[in-house]
Amino acid sequence: MLLIKNGRVIDPKTNYDQVCDILVNNDRIIKIAETIEEQTSEVIDANGLIVAPGLIDVHVHFREPGQTHKEDIHTGALAAAAGGFTSVVMMANTNPVISTPNVLEEVLESAKKEKIKIKTVASVTQNFDGKNVTDFENLLNKGAVGFSDDGIPLRDAGVLKEALLEAKKYNALISLHEEDPSLNGILGINEDIAKSHFHFCGASGVAEYSMIARDVMIAYDCQSKLHIQHLSKAESVKVVSFAQSLGAKVTAEVSPQHFSKTQDLLLTAGNNAKMNPPLRLESDRKAVIEGLKSGVISVIATDHAPHHQDEKNKKDIKKVPSGMTGLETSLSLGLTNLVETKQLSLMELLEKMTINPANLYGFDCGYIRENGPADLVIFSDKEKRVITKNFNSKASNSPFIGEELSGVIKYTICNGKIVYKEK
């Protein structure tokens, strides 16, 4: 048994916020009380620390199979645990793409070996061809939790409608990366700084919000569940809000980088600040924060996208792959840029990183209660740390290296076992 003493326990599902003790046996919480006196083999003194549900990230890239020089499921799991995450959902843009039961089973078999809970989506279309919808029923039966062609927008509205109607049969979720390729230039760099500093055509805002407008209205017509990934534009927030006001079953996420920084980070962090969608304007950063505050955006997800340093160190920024490693800085960015700035309460931040993403997929996690799952994170919310290159991920492509942020993970506990402990 594991006894956690004197921690400030915060549960967003019930708005519970009290200093108390938690007793864990095997993979369940068996008792929560003001004081627990129990002889146990392991005791954690959480005095002065926050005890929260294990964090949940519904948007990660672990690169296995096919791109394991960037990351693999094992190193991705280590990075997740170090960031306080006990459950993650992998995207399907592997090589081969997770479009068939065989590839899906291979990935899930690898995931079973890890100490955290690793789920995956399958692709919406076969090998991301944008034309042929995959066998949803079979893939769901084999363990897929949803569907996404993340990284490759679905250009054909008819294919999207077909996929949404198919997903509706099984109450399954489709998640979309929204950028119309015909309206974009060089991806990963916002159109304003691309023009003024780099002197080429970058990624436009209209490419994002016009495609979102199309897709949320198709979802509204189908009355199917649709999740919009990594919003980055003020107009996108308004479009999602409008669709929700009509009764569309539309949810949305934002990444920590998009509520933390603007396109100006490219001038100091260079290639590591190239990401897709790109960092935008200060007005956009403020708008996505307002979306979090209003509830239009209900989920924070990292879009953890590790790349090998040789790829990120290319001299021509146009040839540099987009993305950043994000699992190990996510909570700190939220604490620093949302809670300390009084944009969100600690309870509200944790809600968007625990119970809300759990509800998106119907996972039995993201909450703290007796007889509930023993998935917990214990952290100091005020302690400062300087971000270094010493990540548990294989990759170190973070634009936040060298920055001082608040929040230090002390323990991550999954299925009742300590899977990460601060060194």
Task: Give the catalytic positions in this structure.
Answer: 303
Question: Is it true that the peptide bond before 306 is cis, omega within 30 degrees of 0?
Answer: no
Nearest alpha-carbon partner for 49 in 419, 341, 407, 370 = 407
Nearest Cα to Cα of residue 405 among 343, 337, 354: 337
Question: Annotation-wise, does 62 bind a ligand?
Answer: yes
Alpha helices per DSSP H over 83-204: 101-111, 136-141, 157-169, 191-193
How far is residue 3's CA from residue 31's CA, in Å, rounded to a whole number?
A: 10
Count of helices and strands (H, E) across the chain: 14, 16
Annotated ligand binding at 221? The verdict is no
Residue 59, marked binder? yes
* 276 annotated among ligand-binding-site residues: yes
Q: Would the annotation count 197 as a binding residue?
A: no
Nearby residues of 242 by Cβ (< 8 Å), 6 or more positions away:
216
- Provide the 8-state DSSP code for 199: -
User: Pick from 273, 264, 271: which is nearest to 319 by CA?
Assistant: 271
Residue with tokens 């590839």: 103
The whole-angstrom separation of Cα 311 and Cα 261 is: 23
Asked whether 323 and 276 are in contact (CB, 8 A), the reply is: yes
Q: Rounded distance, CA 314 to CA 301, Å?
A: 27
Coil vs helix vs strand at 298: coil
CB 251 within 8 A of CB 193: no
Beta bridge partners of 380: 408
What is the sign, positive or negative, of the torsion defined by CA atoms of 206, 91, 329, 314?
Answer: negative
d(CA 396, CA 119): 24
CA distance 396 to 401: 9
SS3 220: helix
Annotated binding site for substrate: 61-63, 93, 276, 307
Binding positions for Zn(2+) are 59, 61, 150, 177, 230, 303
